[in-house]
């Protein structure tokens, strides 16, 4: 069995700086990942007559705002990654959390607060 060789990224600094360093070193991989995830969402949603990629990104933006309030330091790192990779923070967040954001759009709202 062949193991996937993952890149090692060495970073130092505050959360935003850590993110910038990751984004700079992984720029091409990040852009390709986002493109692949948004394409996968578009196909998944098209098969189900679901929401558009634009609606997905809007839901991802709303989820990102909740993340920023819940974990400001984690959100700062994520923002730094997006900034240095040249991608939108909303596209990065939505892509890395695709199934959760997709479920916000496609599943009925819960009648209870699940957190």
pLDDT digits (tens, 9 = 90+) for 37-66: 999 999 999 998 989 999 999 999 999 999
Count of domains in the chain?
1
Residue 6 lies in a domain: no
4-48 pLDDT, tens digit per residue, is: 888 899 999 999 999 999 999 999 999 999 999 999 999 999 998
The pLDDT value recorded for residue 5 is 87
Residue 2 lies in a domain: no
The pLDDT value recorded for residue 114 is 59
For residue 36, the enclosing domain spans 16-106
Phi and psi (nearest 5°) for 58?
A: -65, -40
Residue 53 lies in a domain: yes
Residue 54 lies in a domain: yes
CA distance 92 to 78: 8
- Please give the model's pTM, rounded to 2 decimal places: 0.86
Q: Residue 10 is encoded by which pair of tokens?
A: 């060495």
Residue 112 lies in a domain: no
Phi and psi (nearest 5°) for 6?
A: -90, 145
Question: Does the pLDDT of residue 90 top 80, yes or no?
Answer: yes
Residue 11 lies in a domain: no
Residue 32 lies in a domain: yes
Residue 62 lies in a domain: yes
């Amino acid at each position: 069995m062949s193991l996937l060789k993952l890149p090692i990224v060495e970073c130092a600094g505050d959360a935003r700086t850590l993110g910038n360093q990751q984004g700079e070193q992984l720029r091409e991989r990040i852009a390709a990942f986002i493109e692949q995830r948004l394409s996968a969402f578009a196909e998944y949603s098209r098969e189900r007559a679901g929401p558009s990629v634009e609606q997905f990104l809007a839901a991802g933006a709303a989820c990102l705002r909740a993340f920023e309030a819940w974990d400001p330091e984690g959100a700062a790192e994520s923002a730094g990654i997006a900034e240095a990779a040249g991608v939108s923070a909303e596209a990065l967040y939505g892509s890395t959390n695709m199934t959760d954001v997709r479920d916000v759009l496609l599943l009925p709202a819960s009648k209870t607060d699940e957190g």
